[in-house]
Each structure stands twice: as C-alpha cells, then as structure tokens.
Structure 1
Amino acid sequence: MSVSDDQIAHALELFDGVAPLTTRKMMGGLCIYSDGVIFAIIHGDHGIMIKGKGDFVTELEGMGCTRWTYTRDRGAKAGGPTGMPYWTLPDSAQDDPTAASALARRALTFL
C-alpha cells in the first residue's frame, strides 16, 4: 500500500519542529530526513514510524511503541522474522507536533 498525500502532509506538519525536512519516496513508503539524515518513515501499512537506535529503543518500547518486523520470504533466513530499525509513534505524538518533533530530535541524537 502506498502513502497518500494527506499522510505525507500530516507527517511533515508533525515534524516541522526539526526543519529543514526533505523526503524521498521508496518502496511504497516515504523516508523523512532532517539535514540529510533519515529519522522517520511513513509505511503504507504501519503509518508514521520513527527510527530507533541505542538507548532510544528502550525509551520507545517504554512508551508502548512497536517495532516494524516482517517475515523473510527467501534466502537462508526465509520464514524467519526480520526487525527493521523503525518503531510506531506513541499515541501521545500521533497528533501533537511538539511531542513528535521532540521524539524526532531525540532520534537524531542517536543517528
């Protein structure tokens, strides 16, 4: 499923506090960058997701965020789960630009 113009506009509004923002459509989704560093994506099935690394992962999990995983369909690890470095936004940040931008800035400190 591809992302809609409305989803893109909403994400850019949420992360306006970490401008300058740029985007790039990839694999049916959209990557969101600040100063050339990817910190979030819009996934067609999972919505807006923020990149997690290091201790920030523990923080995201503590907020109830879930990691994007999928099942490999080929190769030596076919049938096994694969985790991507992206987590759902917590409910508190879904419609709050201040909270979403704060999470983005936090993510960028680990990237």
Structure 2
Amino acid sequence: MAFDAGLVACVAEAMEPAGTVTHRAMMGGATLYCDRVVFAIVAADALWFKADASSDAEWDAAGCTRFTYDKGEGQVGTMNYRRAPDECYDDADALRRWAALGLAAGARGCAKRR
C-alpha cells in the first residue's frame, strides 16, 4: 500500500512557516521530517504526530489515539505517534499547533541519542 502523497504535500505546505518538510517512504507509509527532525508519519491514510512522555498527557486530553499495527500471530505493536486531531486536516494553524508537539518530541529524541 502506498502512502497518501497528497496528504504529505498538504502537511508540507501548511508547515512552510515552521520549516522545510521532507519525507521518506517506510513500509507503506512515510516518515515526515521538518528541518531534519522527525515529527510525524503518514500511515493508514492518516497523519500521526510524534509523541513522548512529556507530551502524552496533552495527546490523551485531546483523545488522540496511539498508532498501532499488526505484528502477526495475534499480536499488536505500538509506536509513540498520536493520530492528528480532525481539525488538522482543514486548518493549517491547527496542524502547526499540533505539529509543534511532534517537533518538540522529535527534538527531545534527538537530544537523547547524542
């Protein structure tokens, strides 16, 4: 399954004030970077923002579910990405506001690895 290139293009356009968005294909989806920091993925025809322990409470309060996938043999895996709120799909300001949480989580992840 190919990722939704139109959704990636919309995210890139909305994020222009924040930085340059690039992407890499990954297992039927795409990983999104803003100025080389991972901040989101596009998978299962949806946008998912990077999350971490520092931002989980805000995602939980907004009712944004975690990204899950089928690991096979009846097992479900999770990745620390949260489904973008519906408002992100038609409001560039809302998308940037939620993406900022993903960018911050991505930056914290980069700092941990250094």
Q: Secondary structure at the match of 2:56?
A: helix
In 1, are the aligned partners of 2:39 and 2:105 still within 8 Å (CA)?
no
Q: Deviations over 1:31-73 (max 9, x none)?
A: 1101211100111x24111011113122112112111112322
Report whether the alignment pairs 1:90 with 2:89. no
- Tell me the residue number matched to 2:109: none
- Tell me the residue number matched to 1:58: 57
In 2, are the aligned partners of 1:68 and 1:84 still within 8 Å (CA)?
yes
**Percent identity for Structure 1 against Structure 2:** 31
The one-letter amino acid of 2:103's match is: L
Q: Secondary structure at the match of 1:2?
A: coil
Q: CA deviation at 1:81?
A: 2.1
- Tell me the residue number matched to 1:14: 14
CA distance in 1, matches of 2:17, 2:60: 23
TM-score by length of 1: 0.82
CA distance in 1, matches of 2:28, 2:70: 18
Structure 1: state its 5+ residue gaps: none
CA distance in 1, matches of 2:103, 2:7: 22
In 2, are the aligned partners of 1:16 and 1:101 still within 8 Å (CA)?
no
In 2, are the aligned partners of 1:49 and 1:89 still within 8 Å (CA)?
yes
Report whether the alignment pairs 1:71 with 2:70. yes
The one-letter amino acid of 1:97's match is: A
- Tell me the residue number matched to 1:32: 32
Q: CA RMSD in A?
A: 1.7
In 2, are the aligned partners of 1:50 and 1:107 still within 8 Å (CA)?
yes
Q: Deviations over 1:3-41 (max 9, x none)?
A: 233222222223333212221112111111012111001
- Runs of 4+ aligned residues of structure 1 deviating over 4 Å after TM superposition are none
Aligned residues: 106
In 2, are the aligned partners of 1:17 and 1:97 still within 8 Å (CA)?
no
